[in-house]
Amino acid sequence: MSTSTETQAPVPVRSERSHRRPFSSWREHHGWSAGASLRRLAARPVGSLLTIAVMGLALALPLAFYLLLSNVQSLGLALGRNQVINVFLKTDQVAGNAQLLAKQIGQHDGVTNVVVKSPQQGMDELSKMQGFSDALHALDDNPLPFVLEVQPQEGISADAASRLVDDLRGMRGVQMVQDSGTWRQRLDALLGVGNRAVLILAALFALAVLLVVGNTVRVDITSRAEEIGVLKLIGASRAFVRRPYLYAGIWYGLFSGMLAVGLALGIELALAEPVAKLSQVYEGKLRVGGLPPWLLLAVPAAAAFLGWLGARLVSAWQLRKAA
């Protein structure tokens, strides 16, 4: 039994070594390909920088539009996207009815707060306006009704606000509902167009990155046709020959993505001062934000993938053509 164990023990060791050698050579060639492709980019700095600059600008434009669109939404909130909905009650409604209706409305989905304004409060506000004081003193009775100021939830959609207004109009004791629903609908439509435009631009510029990387790799493969032919003669596989060009595409995409992020941050920095002044005008209600951190991290990674994909498609086509 012991003899059998000793004779079988070296078997897994030899198997493990046999598996390690291909993996080790594969790993070493990946490291060499990454370094060699980076050195090739450094060997022609002007061409590499121009390619990276074109790709970086193409990727920075969707980021700039995304930044603009997100802040347009914040500006809409500051300008009154969630403006108060004024519910005018019938003149025969007393304070008890107004309070009961306010409590009922406050339980409605999409409502943050309800404030009851008495006829006397409305009269006091009108008396402070220029030109109304003398006319109000000539009245024998207060003709103003109770008014409920309904504050919708922040970020409520135009459809939800429209349904809320319809529900308020159908309540008992309500004479009229004053709402800025047209403003909400226009803003939602504008934001919808903006979102679709950003997606279309991102797709177009992603295609531009693929084409730029693909053309660069195509030119590089064409200029090294003799070298590639020698490698094939000594038995190099297509994957072996293609690997440095794939890493070149990754480097192009990664550096262009980093440049795009830098340009986007530069745009944020350039707009910081005027935006701060605009926020002061709106008494701090205008909340302007920058690009989210996850997007800044995702852009270089996505650009590197696009660079790899462009190099992969073109290199496969070129090597198959040259075979």
Report how far residue 40's alpha carbon sits from residue 130's, in angstroms, rounded to the nearest whole number: 76
**Does the pLDDT value for residue 6 go beyond 60?**
no
Radius of gyration of the chain (CA): 34
pLDDT score, position 202: 85
**Does the pLDDT value for residue 218 go beyond 90?**
no
Sorted by sequence, the CB contacts under 8 Å of residue 81 that are 6+ apart come out as 183, 184, 187
**Does the pLDDT value for residue 263 go beyond 90?**
yes
pLDDT score, position 238: 77
309-320 residue pLDDT tens? 998 888 888 777
| Local confidence band at 15 (pLDDT 50, 70, 90 cut-offs) | very low
124-165 residue pLDDT tens? 776 666 555 555 555 666 667 888 888 887 767 777 878 888
**Does the pLDDT value for residue 10 go beyond 50?**
no
pLDDT score, position 27: 79
Residue ranges of the domains in the chain? 33-78+191-322, 84-179
| Local confidence band at 242 (pLDDT 50, 70, 90 cut-offs) | confident
CATH fold of 84-179 reads Alpha-Beta Plaits (3.30.70)
The pTM score is 0.64
Can you read off the two tokens belonging to residue 16? 């493990």
| Local confidence band at 53 (pLDDT 50, 70, 90 cut-offs) | very high
Q: What is the mean pLDDT of residues 59-87?
A: 75
| Local confidence band at 302 (pLDDT 50, 70, 90 cut-offs) | very high
81-98 residue pLDDT tens? 556 788 888 888 888 888
